[in-house]
Amino acid sequence: MSVNLQTPIDYLKGVGPNRADLLRKELGIHTYQDLVNLFPNRYIDRTQYYKINQLQRNNVDIQVIGKLIKFEEIAQKRGKRLVASFQDETGTMELVWFRGQKWIRESLKLNTPYVIFGKTNWYNGKFSMAHPEIELKEEHEQHLRSAMQAIYPSTEKLTNKGITNRVMTKIMQQLFIETKGKFTETLPEYLRSELKLISKSEATFNIHFPKHQELLSKAQFRLKFEELFYIQLQLILKNLIHKSKIKGFPFLIVGNYFNSFFKEHLPFKLTNAQKRVLKEIRHDLGSNAQMNRLLQGDVGSGKTIVALMSMLIALDNGFQACLMAPTEILSVQHYNGLYELCKELKISIKLLTGSSNTSERREIHKTLENGELQILIGTHALLEDKVKFKNLGLAIIDEQHRFGVAQRSKLWKKNTSPPHILVMTATPIPRTLAMSVYGDLDISIIDELPAGRKTIKTVHRYDSNRLKVFRFIRDEISKGRQIYIVYPLIQESEKMDYKDLMDGYASIERDFPKPEYQISIVHGKMKAADKDFEMQRFIKGETQIMVATTVIEVGVNVPNASVMIIESAERFGLSQLHQLRGRVGRGAEQSYCILMTSHKLSNDSRTRLETMVRTSDGFEIAEVDLRLRGPGDIMGTQQSGVLNLKIADIIKDNDILQLARHHAKQLLKADPTLAALENKSVLHTYRQMSKYKNIWNYIS
């Protein structure tokens, strides 16, 4: 009889209730299944033994064979430590225990061959090893042991409670004895032979007890492929089911609004990328399925025009459209831009934010419900229950990562049938992440900037060059340009940030005195009305310099601003630096971004600054950012759960991810319902997966 892998871990011989409780709390191990999927962090070669005179002074894991020749207890500030002299034919070293001394004294014999294993230290002129793993040489030689010993993830609490790596290895051995090392195959035979993958059972054994390096590599490849394959299968299936089950409104007409805007009112020629993306959107809107598309485009690539033209198709088919943005500044800007573009078309368009007054709200609610209002732009205010549409056909969400899934689904429910959804982001998402996190959305990318846009020149300058930088600012202002100077804002130390900003402001006032120069200041502690007043002065050109914390990061459009100076640039993340740089370069003039830092820089900071100076390609920057920060940070908490991977790493295993996605697509293309006999194992695994939610709780 095969063991059920959903059996609680308490029942495994050698675990018991106390250990089970610790394993649950510290490592999330509830079942046999969870234990099998506790993959080692690294491996140590246990075939090699050192002589004491061969030891090096670096702290590494090593094995030595020798004898204990004496014990002594040494008093220290708190309690005592037990020290033993350990000797082989080439010299002597010390073994040290800070706890469990009584048990150690009683269980270890003098002048008997032992094998010790642990990290070496160099202390007071000799080598020592604290709390070594120690076993009799004859027992050591009898054990089932792989040449490479697995080192498992652990916590301080586990170690303190005596659940060492050796104990974990023993528990794992017990699991393999009880299961006889047999695990259900999860991948179809044809796929395994095509990719030359070893079997599930062989991979599972060799990930924990590798016979040699080559088998370990095969086991790792097989298990990484499997994990990524099932994530991709889930996402692609979700997309297919979505398309077959959730019917959208087919927008079959491309009519007067769209055509007259395209022919008579388009302010500039569309780029090829914009044309391609519009084609993809039109195809979605014309099919019977609900559109669920992610539109990525760098700062200034012209997503807004694509959004408007998509809304015009909805209007041509007798539907309403809305656009939701995360901040008031951004929604006002979208409104102003779209209002200008729609003016000639006699389209009814309104703005709804937290600041809208009661009479405006009443008017919006009324005209929205009777269908007179065609386009509504706004913030989270759009999600309020009072906001009811007559027939919402298209909902566009800007800067999607700032809205949770729950907020997206609220928009869905504004209608009897769900509207088409277009999600936009100016934060380029690396391909690997897009495939994993948004794998269930169709993705469109605008990857070229409009003609006539000049690349922003980016330079890195140290604080010691400040006078030269100020001279450069004066020259730019004398040409009639405007300047941003941005200070970092890091939550923990608002006092310090505020001081930085105020000190900076004071020194800028000294170097750029009134009345010749006018300066605006904007920071998080100001009232909204004051912020807005200062912003407006800068937008109108009444002030030449805007000193600010990062509140200007998203969506301020001042074409005349040509210089962005980022103070303490080493304290910003890459995507923030890239977003800030995108605030300039919106006019026809050459723009500049100057990254100011002190001389003290970490390696990561240096990489970030070099990347900014080298490239302005948002996707390349996002890839570097992903390498530096890892996927969890980039996605924020809302999406990082998707990537709770056990063995694969979506950065290092990018090529396996691409392979897995390709094969998942091929399989579903040939057998969308997983009904074929040859895919029986896939269907079984997929069902288990849905049952236990966690991807690894089923793979076995």
How do residues 356-372 score in pLDDT, each as one tens digit?
899 999 999 999 999 99
Which residue from 181, 177, 11, 229 is spatially nearest to 700, judged by alpha carbons? 181
Burial of 216 (0-12, 13-18, 19+ CB in 10 A): buried
Structural domain that includes position 419: 256-286+302-425
pLDDT on residue 638: 39
pLDDT on residue 529: 82
Determine what percent of the chain is predicted with pLDDT higher than 90: 50
CA distance 342 to 318: 16
Which residue from 411, 436, 430 is spatially nearest to 422, judged by alpha carbons? 411
Which residue from 433, 452, 434, 451 is spatially nearest to 443, judged by alpha carbons? 434
Both 388 and 306 in one domain: the answer is: yes
CA distance 470 to 508: 9
Residue 118 backbone class (left: φ over 0; alpha: ψ -120 to 50; beta: rest): left
Both 407 and 529 in one domain: the answer is: no
Both 280 and 372 in one domain: the answer is: yes
Both 268 and 409 in one domain: the answer is: yes
DSSP per-residue string spanning 94-158: EEEESS-HHHHHHH--TTSEEEEEEEEEEETTEEEEES-EEEEHHHHHHS---SEEEE----HHH
SS (H, E, C) 183-251: CCCCCCHHHHHHHCCCCHHHHHHHHHCCCCHHHHHHHHHHHHHHHHHHHHHHHHHHHHHHHHHCECCCC
Tokens encoding 620: 């390349």
Mean pLDDT, range 426-442, rounded to an integer: 74
Q: Phi and psi dihedrals of 357, rounded to 5?
A: -80, 170
SS (H, E, C) 647-697: CCCCCCCHHHHHHHHHHHHHHHHHCCCCCCHHHHHHHHHHHHHHHHCCHHH
CA distance 556 to 255: 33
Q: How many CB atoms lie within 10 A of CB 384?
A: 13
- Hey, what long-range contacts does 359-362 have (CB within 8 A, 24 or more apart)? 361/386
Mean pLDDT, range 56-85, rounded to an integer: 88
Burial of 590 (0-12, 13-18, 19+ CB in 10 A): middle
The model's pTM is 0.68
* 626 belongs to a structural domain: no
698, pLDDT greater than 90 = no
Residue 345 contacts residue 257 (beta carbons within 8 Å): yes
Mean pLDDT, range 473-482, rounded to an integer: 94
CATH number of the domain encompassing residue 68: 2.40.50.140
Helix (H, G, I), strand (E, B) or coil at 639: helix
pLDDT on residue 329: 77
* 655 belongs to a structural domain: no
pLDDT on residue 637: 36
449, pLDDT greater than 50 = yes
* 358 belongs to a structural domain: yes
CATH number of the domain encompassing residue 487: 3.40.50.300
Mean pLDDT, range 50-65, rounded to an integer: 86
CA distance 422 to 393: 11
CA distance 412 to 290: 11
Both 274 and 354 in one domain: the answer is: yes
DSSP per-residue string spanning 519-536: EEEE-TTS-HHHHHHHHH
pLDDT on residue 146: 61
Q: How many CB atoms lie within 10 A of CB 600?
A: 7
Q: How many CB atoms lie within 10 A of CB 156?
A: 8
pLDDT on residue 641: 42
Mean pLDDT, range 133-162, rounded to an integer: 83
* Least-confidence region, from 333-347, 392-406, 598-612: 392-406
Both 375 and 466 in one domain: the answer is: no
Q: How many CB atoms lie within 10 A of CB 655?
A: 9
Residue 27 contacts residue 38 (beta carbons within 8 Å): yes
pLDDT band at 31 (very low <50, low <70, confident <90, very high): very high
What is the tens place of the pLDDT at every residue in 532-564? 888 889 989 999 999 887 655 445 678 889 999
Both 611 and 498 in one domain: the answer is: yes
Both 131 and 276 in one domain: the answer is: no
Both 382 and 272 in one domain: the answer is: yes
Q: How many CB atoms lie within 10 A of CB 412?
A: 15
The mean pLDDT value of the chain amounts to 86
B/e letters for 541-569, b = 16+ CB within 10 Å, e = fewer, are eebbbbbbbbbbbbbbebeebbbbbbbbb
pLDDT on residue 245: 81
pLDDT band at 46 (very low <50, low <70, confident <90, very high): confident
Mean pLDDT, range 411-438, rounded to an integer: 78
pLDDT band at 694 (very low <50, low <70, confident <90, very high): low
427, pLDDT greater than 50 = yes
Mean pLDDT, range 146-153, rounded to an integer: 83
CA distance 439 to 234: 9
* Least-confidence region, from 140-154, 228-242, 324-338, 370-384: 140-154
Strand partners, 548: 486, 522
Pick 699 or 166 by higher pLDDT.
Answer: 166
Mean pLDDT, range 136-142, rounded to an integer: 84
Mean pLDDT, range 81-86, rounded to an integer: 93
What is the tens place of the pLDDT at every residue in 93-136? 999 998 888 888 888 999 999 999 888 998 888 899 999 989 89
176, pLDDT greater than 70 = yes
84, 117, 144 — which closes off a domain?
A: 144
Q: How many CA atoms lie within 13 A of 3 on its CB side?
A: 21
pLDDT on residue 521: 87
Q: How many CB atoms lie within 10 A of CB 630?
A: 15
* 89 belongs to a structural domain: yes
Give Cβ neighbours of residue 601 (< 8 Å, ≥ 6 apart).
570, 609
Domain tally for the chain? 3
Q: Return the top range by mean pLDDT from 374-383, 447-456, 567-576.
A: 374-383
pLDDT band at 309 (very low <50, low <70, confident <90, very high): very high
Mean pLDDT, range 420-442, rounded to an integer: 78
Tokens encoding 153: 């993830």
> Sheet containing 561-566: which strands, arranged edge to edge?
457-462, 592-597, 561-566, 482-486, 545-548, 519-522
Calculate the CA dihedral of residues 469, 474, 476, 477 and round it to 10 degrees.
140
* Least-confidence region, from 40-44, 75-79, 241-245: 241-245
* 382 belongs to a structural domain: yes
Tokens encoding 37: 């999927």
Burial of 526 (0-12, 13-18, 19+ CB in 10 A): middle
pLDDT on residue 411: 73
Residue 622 contacts residue 445 (beta carbons within 8 Å): no
Both 509 and 584 in one domain: the answer is: yes
What is the tens place of the pLDDT at every residue in 191-250? 999 999 999 999 999 999 998 889 999 999 999 999 999 989 988 888 888 788 878 889
Which residue from 643, 631, 645 is spatially nearest to 39, judged by alpha carbons? 645
pLDDT on residue 626: 79
- Sign of the dihedral through C-alpha 649, 654, 659, 661: positive
Both 499 and 597 in one domain: the answer is: yes
Q: How many CA atoms lie within 13 A of 161 on its CB side?
A: 16
* Least-confidence region, from 46-55, 127-136, 395-404, 678-687: 395-404
pLDDT on residue 401: 59
pLDDT on residue 422: 93
CA distance 532 to 525: 13
615, 633, 666 — which closes off a domain?
A: 615
* Least-confidence region, from 141-150, 275-284, 380-389, 591-600: 141-150
Q: How many CB atoms lie within 10 A of CB 41?
A: 9
CA distance 388 to 494: 40
Residue 229 contacts residue 241 (beta carbons within 8 Å): no
Tokens encoding 566: 């980022």
CA distance 125 to 619: 53
pLDDT on residue 633: 52
Both 405 and 537 in one domain: the answer is: no
pLDDT on residue 569: 92
* 540 belongs to a structural domain: yes
Tell me which residue has tokens 């004294």.
105
CA distance 396 to 390: 17
CA distance 387 to 470: 50
* 553 belongs to a structural domain: yes
Q: If you compute the radius of gyration of the chain from its CA atoms, what whole number of angstroms results?
A: 32
492, pLDDT greater than 60 = no
What is the tens place of the pLDDT at every residue in 602-642? 999 999 999 999 998 888 888 888 778 766 554 443 343 44
CA distance 298 to 253: 30
114, 144, 174 — which closes off a domain?
A: 144
* 477 belongs to a structural domain: yes
Side chain identity, residue 429: I
pLDDT on residue 371: 94
pLDDT on residue 493: 52
